[in-house]
Amino acid sequence: MISLFKYPNELTPDELIQVYSIHSKVYCSKGIGLEYAIWENHLFMQYHNVANKIIQLFYFQDKERIDAYNILLDPIVIDGKRWSKLIECGSAPKSHKDIKNVFLIIPVQTFS
């Protein structure tokens, strides 16, 4: 599995559509999600009253297909450790494999 961090403005149009597709499956299907235009505006603008966000993309089987995502705040340092608030996450794998255990140990790309 690959874990990749990007700022919203670094997402390709295809990545943006894939992330929203997961948002739609996870949240809109339960009646609590946002329509695309509203969600995209929140992603690029103020979201939970914070403008600086990072998207963590997870690729399980294929480097072209996003299987899950996290939306995080830029990390801050508290007592010498980096902390970040998780704003939204979603996992809607399109694989027939049982991958729930894959997300228990997540290889993370560190911030420089």
Which is nearest to 89 in space by CA: 53, 62, 64? Answer: 53
Question: Torsion-angle region of residue 71: left (phi > 0), alpha (psi -120 to 50) or beta?
Answer: beta
Phi then psi dihedrals of residue 50, to 5 deg = -135, 135
Q: What is the pLDDT of residues 50-107, one digit of tens each?
A: 668 899 999 887 788 898 999 988 888 889 998 888 888 888 765 555 555 555 444 4
Residues 6+ apart with CB under 8 A from 42: 34
Domain ranges of the chain: 2-104
Q: What is the pLDDT of residue 19?
A: 94
- What kind of fold does domain 2-104 have according to CATH? Aminopeptidase (3.40.630)
Q: What predicted TM-score, i.e. pTM, was given to this entire model?
A: 0.76
Q: What is the pLDDT of residue 71?
A: 92
Q: Cα Rg for the chain, rounded, in angstroms? A: 14
